[in-house]
Chain A
Amino acid sequence: MSQHKASRFLGAGLTQVVLAGYTILALFPIALIIINSFKSRGAIFDNPLALPTSETFSLIGFQKVLHESHFTLYFGNSLIVTITSLVLILLFGAMAAWALSEYKFKGSRILALFFAFGIMVPIRLGTVSILKLMVSLSLVNTLTALILVYVAQGLPLAIMILSEFMQQIPKELKEAARCDGVGEFKIFFQVILPLIRPAVATVAVFTMVPIWNDLWFPLILAPGDSTQTVTLGVQQFIGQYVTNWNAVLASLTLAVLPVLVMYVFFSRQLIRGITAGAVK
């Protein structure tokens, strides 16, 4: 018995070692960047692994990034693109999901399949024609172009997750509303939308991350100075200031922060979303 106990104890210890070890590996690079972004240039090189002290603390990198680049502009662009796309994906996605899961009509299965196709095939493969289309609509170097592409990209997954969720809404609820003579639009906006709020939050997080982080479409559709997003801006800023380590580290830190904040905010929702989605 005691031998059994000892082996279990050993097993638990080993588990902790592996998990903690990997966690350090996962967090180390991020921590290293953030720590060094608050240090003076000399300290970054002399002792990269040390925390900033009162002597080595310096904000010069952040000053450089915020004053000498368009960082705030890029940040605003990213916010506009991400939030607008997200709102449209959730609204249009929920409407379509509702239509596909609630009403039976000719072609509804084919339509569902048509949307599902977009989950597996990356929209990036259509880039040649997307650029051609945006040129002909004179939308190149506008945030609108990015928003349209991201909405098209996000809709398939949103529709799939939301319609699965909507199918679980009890029939009685809808029937009761219909018997009372409530119109279809009112049912959707006042009964269904509030009910699917948890699923909407999950879809929101999943949709937001790839949009915020995308490099490909900003690079191709909106590389102009006034329409750059943070991801593209950081990429080019680092290229320009590659020898100014304070500025490079500060710009990396600034680009990481919003995601960190969002993660702290949503991490429970996010993990629940993944586990619920996978289990079904």
Chain B
Amino acid sequence: MKRSFPWHIVVFLAPAFLIYLVFSAWPLIDTLRLGFFTTNDNGSQTWAGLANYHSLLFDPLWSEGFWNAMKNNCKFFLVHMCVQNPLGLLLAALLSMRGVKFAKGYQTAIFLPTLLSVVIIGFIWQLILSPLWGVSEHILSLVHLDSLFQPFLGQEETALFTLSAMSVWQFVGIPMMLIYAALIAIPDEIIEAAYVEGASAWRIFWTIRVPLILPTLGLTTILTFVGNFNAFDLIYSVKGALAGPNFSTDILGTYFYRAFFGYQSQIGSPTMGAAVATLMFLVILLGVGVYFYFIQRKLQRFSF
């Protein structure tokens, strides 16, 4: 007996598959393809092989900006790794302790900025840090530190770190929540047993709880990585497409935008934009690959 063709499976899958294929998967592949072409003066596109990549990586006209953006993006990521994730771990550890009053309220409040648009966050902090309004100067003077006040967003040396700090402020709720969830999932018996053995809370935290949540720490790392190397909105809304002062806050996302759309006297080029997107894709793929092949595989062997 021959079964009839399972049309229902096709009907269930078709809408999601088609939309995802046409508006996500195909454009991505097509973008990778376009990176090998060049745009002529009349707007047509011709095969160029690796020429775009050669300019991006070696021709000073392009490569200076590209490597600068790459370097800044790495700094942006490092600040998140060194500040955001440890801070998230600290907050989650405190929240997950037994009998902490108002824990739910703190959790809710600290997670709130995550939900706001980066555009809003950028402007709020811009206003606060602006010497025009003087809020931060005023607050610093309350603790007699007003001599420390500087136009943090306007100086080449401090702008990128200030923007990274804003981003950390906004997104610390995500690692906090993920780590908190992992911490409260640890069975009570393990912790109880360690207490009975006489281990201190500090030791229990570092030798029992942290090793058990390593998979979650790995996950927050890769989420931070993908998010940071794909960032754009904050820099664009605070500093514009030119990522000033003097490109000191330029990251791959803003560089991609300028390569694609152009700025000032330089004309944008879709094929050059595609080449930048391809390099961003490779960076992200590399990060995800490292995560899956080394970290996650190893961690699962350790923890379960």
Contact = CB atoms under 8 A, between A and B. Distances in A.
A234 B119 contact: yes
Contact of A128 (B31, B91, B177): B31
B124 A92 contact: no
Q: Interface size for chain A: under 10, 10 to 19, 20 to 34, or 35 or more residues?
A: 35 or more
Interface stretch (B17-25, B73-81, B242-250): B17-25
Interface of A, secondary structure class, is: helix
A275 interface: yes
Contact of A279 (B90, B97, B134, B185): B185
Contacts of B196: none
Given A15-B100, A128-B34, A92 B119 contact: no
B162 interface: no
Q: Interface size for chain B: under 10, 10 to 19, 20 to 34, or 35 or more residues?
A: 35 or more
Contacts of A260: 112
Interface in A44-62: 44-45, 48-49
Contacts of B99: 12
Interface in B245-275: 253, 260, 270-271, 273-274
A41 to B, nearest CB: 12
Interface string B180-223: 11101100000000000000010000000000000010000010
Interface stretch (B7-15, B152-160, B296-304): B7-15
Contacts of B90: 18
A46 B3 CA distance: 80
A30 B127 CA distance: 11
A92 B109 contact: no
A214 B104 CA distance: 28
Interface stretch (A69-77, A145-153, A169-177, A196-204): A145-153
Contacts of A91: 15
Contacts, number: 254
Contact of A216 (B19, B27, B111, B233): B233
A278 B178 CA distance: 6
Given A12-B99, A92-B19, A122-B230, A30 B112 contact: yes
A127 B260 contact: yes
A276 B105 CA distance: 19
B120 A256 contact: yes
Contact of B280 (A103, A125, A255): A125
A48 B138 contact: yes
Given A126-B30, A132-B270, A15 B97 contact: yes
Contacts of A156: 20
A231 interface: yes
A180 B260 CA distance: 58
B181 A115 contact: no
A260 to B, nearest CB: 8
A118 B180 CA distance: 26
B277 to A, nearest CB: 5
B260 A128 contact: yes
Interface in B78-110: 90-91, 94-95, 97, 99-110
B177 A99 contact: no
Contacts of A12: 99-100
B236 A275 contact: no
Contact of A215 (B22, B184, B237): B237
Interface string A152-188: 1101100100000000000000000000000111001
Nearest to A184: B8
A45 B34 CA distance: 52
B12 A188 contact: yes
Interface stretch (B56-64, B143-151, B281-289): B281-289
Contacts of A209: 115
A242 B281 CA distance: 36
A259 interface: yes
Nearest to B260: A128
A278 B270 contact: no
16 contacts: A19-B106, A44-B133, A45-B133, A96-B12, A96-B16, A99-B12, A114-B25, A125-B281, A126-B27, A132-B30, A133-B22, A133-B26, A152-B22, A231-B117, A271-B108, A274-B178
Given A129-B30, A274-B177, 4 more contacts: A11-B201, A49-B138, A209-B115, A270-B111
